[in-house]
Every structure is written in structure tokens, then in C-alpha cells.
Structure 1
């Protein structure tokens, strides 16, 4: 299913409720609810390899029972799927320019990175999978080489690409989901750079997450019209899409969003999801600068220059107190996590097992070549071991200068995310605000503390939100330098400490938002729900 914005009148009597726009879902009019379209909804179904759309006749729709089909909800960031699932009021119409082709909103994630995607999957039984590295399939069912083989020489050479990016070829969860009989939903949302003809911004925080919650509510409000089981909604995404997926999973049914949802007329339904997948989530933004310097502070930029001082050192030092404040225990019985032992935790619990699995899978000749090119790895008795400094040398270079997210000139996408209707970008950390202004007593704008909380899944997990997702699939690439690995690993540790079902992994030599085990994720969800493809 794809959610789109469309012109025309509301089609409230259509069996799928899909033509046109009108009053938002869930508004009460004349004493009774009206099932009014909340954007255009097109249904995509799979039947013997055929994708059926909203214009197919009913006799072509040989559906399985609605409750027997999982739902995959996703968010594209470009093209037709990028139309926001919102009533198109005149003051919100986008300007027609190259970013708004044919007057449509571009696909935009919460940090403005135009490659994120959000998925929601539905399953119920706890399951520990073995990690596969099989090839994927394209839209025509042809096999695609797995990401490690995208560059035939990479698995022999190893290492990054000079900017800490690693392998970025990725499998497509949506295609895997369709092939396994899932329903795929891709709602559009407002984004950080949406602006109307009067120059008013209308996609700043927390609009993107509010729109996604409205989309989940829309699905539940129309559960008898839309195929799929709305008790088994699973979110997922990559990069900033992963951040939104994590936030959606952590903040289910939080009353803090109620006034925002009411303002756009969202349906009076639950916005909680069953399970969450996230690939390289760029989240915990108010602490991301500290975490980035803790991990990459000793690495040079791509130019060879060092990160700007004293910012890098000051932020690294500040991370110590933040990590301590989380009171996290590492997974697999590691114990209390701190800035002092986090490197050992990452190496022993995540990195060495990942490198071992990677090297074990290589043919003997390729493994020998890889080890010869990466002498920081000690290979003995089928196990890879190395030091933290050796791993950092493998990454090579950092992507961003300090501060990385709340930049001093407020030029980062994250600064734009926390703008408001009249200001495109604002500082959202006291460190950058006070450093940039030279005012040690400067305070964030009064509306920002709440919006920062509304964009951070760690806040809701810290509150032990009882309606959070209880099943989590978390991934990132070992060579990703878009954000610190601590961000996703802290998320995993927090969820594990809460007793949730967490499967977290770092892909060895993987880059940003890479997905190397879509088949294993599908198996995980199928086992959780008991779903079996037809």
C-alpha cells in the first residue's frame, strides 16, 4: 500500500476510501464519525507475483483473509510516494521547483537525508535467528548479488573507502516483504524543507513523526477495508528513516503527541506498532555530537585535517557524563556501560564476532588476502581479535567535523529539522548555541525542549513507555561514520535492559544504512507472528 496526496473531493464511500482529499480522518461531524480520506491510499497486493493497484477491478483482487497478511509500512523520500498523508490546505501547497516536481512534495526524512526509508512489519513469537547472507531479488524476481559482492575485490581488500563509508549496496526489505505475501504501506510525511509560497515552513519537528503516527492510525481506522493485520504492524527504515522507525516504536500511544495529532485531525486510534526494524538510525540528536567525538574524535577528516578544537575534546569529555546518566548494562551480561569501557564492549560483543563471521564465510584464498591487507586483525583458531585502535585505523577517516549535528553555523540538516514556521534552522543543544553566540547563559527557544524530547526515542524508553514496540531488529555498518555506533548500541542496550526482544548486529565492513540480511529479518517477523507465505 502506498499513501499519497491527491486532488479532488473526498471519497468517503469508496471501499478503500482512496480518491481525493478532504477533512482529516477521525473528525466528528454532526455527531458521527466520517471515514474521510486522509490523502490518497493505493493498495498493493501480491498474488502469484502480480502487484495489484487501486485501479484493478474487484474481481481481480483474489485476496487472502485480511487478518492473515502482515503489513509492512514504509516511507519513501522521493517521487510519488513522497506526497504527505495530510489534507492539502491551500497554505501548505508546495512551490513548484526542482525539489517539488509537478507540485509534489519531495520525499524528506526528519534530518533531510533523501535516502531513508521506513518499514513496519508484523509478527508475534520470540525467535532467535541465525544470520544469513543470501543474495536478494530485484523487482522481477531475478537474484541480485549480496552487498559484499557488489565490489568483487572488496571482500579481499577490506576496509573503508577513504571516508569511513564501507560497503553500501543493500537488500530491499519491501521487495522481500512483497515476495512473502506482506502488505507494504509507504506513507509520505512533511519534511524539514517544506515551505509554502508565503515562505512559511510547515514540516519542522515534530511534524514528520506526527504524520507517521497519523498514518498508523489511518490504517487501523480502515482495518476492515485494507488488507493486512493491523495488530502486526512493524516499522522499519534506514538512516533518518531508521530514526523515525525507532521513534515510532518507542513512543507508541504517547499522550505527548495528542495535541499535534488532534490539530491535523488524525483518527482516534492507537499508533503503537508491534515490532521495529532500524538500519543506522541517526537519532538521539541532542547527544549525537558528544557520541560522535567520543568514537571518531581521533580520526582525521577526508581532507586529512583534524577535527576543530577545542570542540572535539570538549564534546568527548561531555560524553562521559551522558553515558553515565543512562545507567545502561551491556547485552550478553557485559555489565554497566561507561565511556571508559565502551570501546571494550563494542569490540568484544559486536565487532569481533562480526569480523569472525565475515572472515569465516570467505573462501580460504580470499580470507588470506583480506588478512594480509588488514594486519590489525589476529586470526587464530577461527576467531578474529583486534584492538580498538586497530579498528579505528580500519575506519580511517571521519565524515563530519565538530560539532557534527548541531553545527556552529546552523547549516546541518538537523538544525533545519528544529527550525520553526519562520526560521529555517536553529541550534538545539546548549553547547553549540553558547559556543556560536559566545553567550554562556544563552538558552534554547522555549518551544525546543519539548520538540527535542518528541524526536528522541531514548526519552520514551527512559519513561518505560508501556505501549512501546517489544520486538526490535537493529543494524548498522561497522564502517559507518554518519553517526556514532554508540547511538544504536545504546538503543539496543536500553531495550534489552527493559526486557524487550532485541536482535542487534554490526555488519563487518558495512557502510551507512546497509541491509545484508533481509531474508533473516523476514524470517524473524514470520516466526514472531506465525505467518507463513501462501
Structure 2
């Protein structure tokens, strides 16, 4: 395997404790035979047998009533990679448990110990696509509320689901040998390995691995989307084999799988997805309204006085061809293009505002103020973009000025500077910024992963860009190293796998807040359309929730009603 993935292909020999059966768990005729212990094919699978005796007990309250849960913690691969340090959100720390990034914590309400049909609520915590150590969502003595709109853990416990907190490698990690070990596609590979562990041990553990519901927000939403779109793709087998994931047999060209890694449902909040094209979508969406008032300075140089405007225009110009090339279709068979995508976004806004009005929400009339809360600060922002017709709960949306709506979105919190996602080493950026350190060779901290940023890299000796390699983006991407980068970009992008022979999740719940400027509305509409177009998908719920910023798990009652309805319909 080529250089960007060498870290993935350096397995460490780590002894994993094997275990017996989970006492009290009977068989489930609905479970796939491919997920039982009869499917164990090699020594790695044997080493990954579930240890039913290795658990702790926690006493918690749910809705004020005592509940006892069992918690199991396990390294879910046979060849985990030892980590030394982690940078997350700009803060670097020493890793005390070297395998915590390939560990998962399974929490089971005691009432569900013998239930092999309940759902597995599989939580990823990769905001910003950062590395995520396994951390228990349920702690001894904790209090949880199932009726809260912000307590998804309480709702899952009340429903009797098995909770799975998954640690994954991702950007910002360094291994004990000094290499950058969280490079793409590490987070997707690790999540799939955890799913495979659950499949391998399905008959031994509570809950059904045929009913995995993946939940994540922001970068975690992007990860959720990638997991859900790429089920059982053979593209991932070399990476899964390198870390000793369950169910991978053979070697080289003979790699095969005895275990599935597709999932039942995805619950993705504000998914930062399709990173290779996210900058193009962002600049296309916001280029016309950028100004000094809604775009920050870089290295002390104001937006209008520096290179940002020209960069924004050049990057934006690439999006129409990209979107058209996806071949996505609207419900009437029309192709989704930049000529109509904003109309589709406006239709979603109209539907959401009218839902709120019908529910009794007092939506401000034209000329009145919206009260907008972003990052704990409430601002009064004038409604100069929405005109209503009628009154009371029967009012409807008469018109939406979309350009003014975009300005409204960017009034409380400024836009990301140019470049938004592949931001490192360009336009005067002096620190690692955006998702640039998710990509590239393990021996370098980051790599530019888009054409404009590659060709305009300003930092010498960072291993990236025309200045260091002597070749343009186009020439680099036709080289072997460029092919490796293209593979990284593909394997984390849900649109690479939707509408292909991958086994995409049949059920999707996607939310992107109405005032969320962290990625373009166009990118979310493209994801939604790709999901709808996929023949494997049975249903998709997509909304732009009213006055919601970049966040997740704010509509727990609605989300869990959807999960229950979806699970019940599958019985």
C-alpha cells in the first residue's frame, strides 16, 4: 500500500482477551447467520470474541426512576495502533490509554440483557472530523431524561436500546512511532471495524446488529453519512485487514469478507460531508454576499483588501460543473444543477417555516425582528427576506428573498474565511486550519486536498503543494501519490457510494439548521438528493430546522419517534 496509508498497514501484536457466552441471551431467528460465531474464519475473529464476564455495573436514574446498566469496554480490532498524543480543537494532550481510539463502550439496560432484537444506538463523536476517544455517555450516578428534546442518551435508555460509544482515529492523532495516524480513511475504517465486531458477536450480545442506528453531529454527521452510504464496499478491506478487523480473510488481491458492515439507519446532524468539494460548494453559495462585515480578516488583512475575494470567485466557479456531473435527479426527473438548487433550498425553507406557523410559532412579519441565538449569544436580526400571507396558524409563506436570507444567516456569526475547509498554508493562514490535516502522507501533518489550495500553497517544506512537489494539482493527481489522496477523499465521501453497488442504509434522518453557516446549504441538498436517488434507500427525512444553528440532538423527541416508527415498520 502506498505512503499515505503505511500507518494503517503496520499492525501491532496486541493480546485481546477472549471470552465465553453472554449468560441469558437466547437465539434470534431474525439475525443473519453470517453474524454468528459460526462465521468465525480466522484467529483474529477468535481473538475478538465477546467477553460476557468483563463488565461493570452502573446505577443511574431515567426520568427520576432507578435503572441499572451493564457496561462493557473492548478494543474492537485485533491489531490496534498505539497512540501517543492527540490534538483536538487546538489543544494537544498525552494519550494515557494508547488504544482508546479503537475502543468502544457498550451500555446495556439490565432489562434488555436478554433482548436480542432491540436496536444498537451507535454514537460517533467526531466534531470537526477530529479524533475521538471512546468515552461513556452513561456514567454511574448520572441522571437522564427521556422526554427532553436534548437528551438522546435518556431517550435511548428509556427505549431499551443498547448504547454504543465508539472511539475512532481521525485528524490530530500521533502514534507512538511519531507518525500521524489519524489520516483518512481512518475514522470510517474504525467505525466499520466496530460494526464488524458487533456483527461477529451478534448472537452473544444483547441487541441486534441488524438494527444499528448511527448517530453523529457535524464531522460526526459526515462520518455517519460515510458509514451509512458505503456498507459492505470492498474498497475498505485492505484498511480493515491492516488493523485486524473482524471478518476479513485472505490477503492482497484475495481479500474477502465474511461479515457485513452495513447499517440500518443514519441520524446525521449538520453533516460536514464531501470534503473534497465542500469549498467549491461553500464559495458558490456565499461568494456574492461576502464582505468585510461577514467575513473575517486573515493575518490582519481585511477580506476586501487581501486575496480572499479572488480565491472565493475562482473556487466558486468550479461548483456548477461538479454538481452537474453528479447526475442527481429531482422528484420530477429534472437534473439537479446550480440553476435550480437554490429553488430546492427555498422550498425546504418554505416547508419548515409553514410547519412552525401551523404549530403555533410566532414567525416575525416582514420588518420585524428574529431573535437568533448562536453560541450562547442572542441577537435581534431584522426580517428583510421573508414575506408571509394570511394570519395565525393558517398563514403561509408568500416569498423568500434567498440572497437576503443568506445575509441574514451570516449576520449573527461571520462566514468561514476563504478557504473554509482546505485552509492550511493559503491566503496567509499560518496554522493548521480546516480539515487539511485529515489528508496526506503519515509523515507530514497535513496535505492540501483541493486544486486551488494545492496550487496556491504558500508554506515551504510542508510536503504539500506545487511549491514543494514541483507539480500542479492536475499533474499530482495523475501520479501514484495523487491516486492515494484521491482514495482518501473517496472513502470518506458518502456521494462516492450512494447510487452504487454499496449497501447503503435503507433509512436516513438528516438535519441542517436554518441558520447554520458551517457548510453550504447546497452541499446538504446534494447529499439529500443523492440519498433519495439511491435505490437501496426506503425513506429519508430531511429538514432545515427553524432558527437552529450548527448543532445536533436538539429534536430528540422527533428523532426518536422516527427511529421507533422505522424500527417498528421493519418488524
Which TM class, normalised by the smaller chain length? 0.7 to 0.9
Distance of 1:237 and 1:116 partners within structure 2: 14
Q: How much has 1:295 moved relative to structure 2?
A: 1.1
Deviating more after overlay: 272-281 vs 439-448: 439-448
1:41-56 equivalences under 5 Å are 49-54=66-71
Call closer, same or farther: CA 1:362–1:202 in 2, change over 3 Å.
same
Distance of 2:260 and 2:340 partners within structure 1: 40
On the 8 A contact 2:171/2:182 being kept in 1, the answer is yes
Q: Structure 1 length as normaliser, TM-score?
A: 0.74
Distance of 1:460 and 1:116 partners within structure 2: 27
1:34-433 equivalences under 5 Å are 34-36=47-49, 49-54=66-71, 85-86=76-77, 92-95=82-85, 99-100=93-94, 102-103=96-97, 105=100, 109=126, 111-113=128-130, 139-141=143-145, 144=148, 171-268=150-247, 269-297=259-287, 298-300=289-291, 301-303=294-296, 305-306=302-303, 308-331=308-331, 333=332, 335-348=334-347, 350-362=348-360, 370=369, 373-381=382-390, 382-384=395-397, 385-397=399-411, 398-409=414-425, 411-433=432-454
Among 481, 493, 504, which residue is 2:529 paired with? Answer: 493
Call closer, same or farther: CA 1:491–1:257 in 2, change over 3 Å.
same
Counterpart check, 1:28 vs 2:42? yes
Partner of 2:429: none
On the 8 A contact 1:118/1:245 being kept in 2, the answer is no
Call closer, same or farther: CA 1:525–1:395 in 2, change over 3 Å.
same
On the 8 A contact 1:38/1:85 being kept in 2, the answer is no
Among 477, 480, 485, which residue is 1:448 paired with? Answer: 485
Secondary structure of residue in 2 paired with 1:265? coil
Secondary structure of residue in 2 paired with 1:272? coil
- If asked which structure has higher relative contact order (CA below 8 Å, sep 6+), I would say 1
Distance of 2:213 and 2:278 partners within structure 1: 26
Q: How much has 1:415 moved relative to structure 2?
A: 1.1
Deviating more after overlay: 233-242 vs 519-528: 519-528
Secondary structure of residue in 1 paired with 2:175? coil
Partner of 1:123: none
Secondary structure of residue in 1 paired with 2:312? helix
Among 472, 475, 479, which residue is 2:511 paired with? Answer: 475
Secondary structure of residue in 1 paired with 2:388? strand
Call closer, same or farther: CA 1:430–1:370 in 2, change over 3 Å.
closer
Per-residue Cα deviation, 1:5-60 (whole angstroms, up to 9, x for no partner): xx99633124459xxxxxxx967239x944446998879899975141248xxxxx
Distance of 1:217 and 1:330 partners within structure 2: 35
Partner of 2:28: none
Per-residue Cα deviation, 1:426-484 (whole angstroms, up to 9, x for no partner): 0112222123237545414331111211111101114242x111111110111111111
Call closer, same or farther: CA 1:525–1:434 in 2, change over 3 Å.
same
Distance of 1:45 and 1:227 partners within structure 2: 19
Distance of 2:244 and 2:128 partners within structure 1: 25
Distance of 1:419 and 1:43 partners within structure 2: 42
Call closer, same or farther: CA 1:357–1:370 in 2, change over 3 Å.
farther
Distance of 1:390 and 1:512 partners within structure 2: 20
Distance of 1:266 and 1:498 partners within structure 2: 28
Call closer, same or farther: CA 1:84–1:109 in 2, change over 3 Å.
farther
On the 8 A contact 2:77/2:246 being kept in 1, the answer is no
Secondary structure of residue in 2 paired with 1:260? helix
Distance of 2:135 and 2:400 partners within structure 1: 35
Q: How much has 1:286 moved relative to structure 2?
A: 0.8
Secondary structure of residue in 2 paired with 1:242? helix
Distance of 1:44 and 1:222 partners within structure 2: 23
Structure with a larger share of its residues in strand: 2
Q: What is the total number of aligned residue pairs between the two structures?
A: 445
Call closer, same or farther: CA 1:424–1:44 in 2, change over 3 Å.
farther
Call closer, same or farther: CA 1:84–1:35 in 2, change over 3 Å.
closer
Call closer, same or farther: CA 1:352–1:284 in 2, change over 3 Å.
same
Deviating more after overlay: 379-388 vs 281-290: 379-388
Per-residue Cα deviation, 1:60-96 (whole angstroms, up to 9, x for no partner): xxxxxxxxxxxxxxxxxxxxx9x9744576x724249
Q: Structure 2 length as normaliser, TM-score?
A: 0.69
Call closer, same or farther: CA 1:98–1:337 in 2, change over 3 Å.
closer
Deviating more after overlay: 493-502 vs 299-308: 299-308
Call closer, same or farther: CA 1:431–1:143 in 2, change over 3 Å.
same
Distance of 2:518 and 2:296 partners within structure 1: 16
Counterpart check, 1:12 vs 2:21? no
Deviating more after overlay: 437-446 vs 351-360: 437-446
Secondary structure of residue in 2 paired with 1:99? strand
Per-residue Cα deviation, 1:385-409 (whole angstroms, up to 9, x for no partner): 3111221121135431222111251
Distance of 1:515 and 1:95 partners within structure 2: 29
Secondary structure of residue in 2 paired with 1:424? coil
Distance of 1:320 and 1:292 partners within structure 2: 12
On the 8 A contact 1:279/1:476 being kept in 2, the answer is yes
Among 539, 542, 548, which residue is 1:510 paired with? Answer: 548
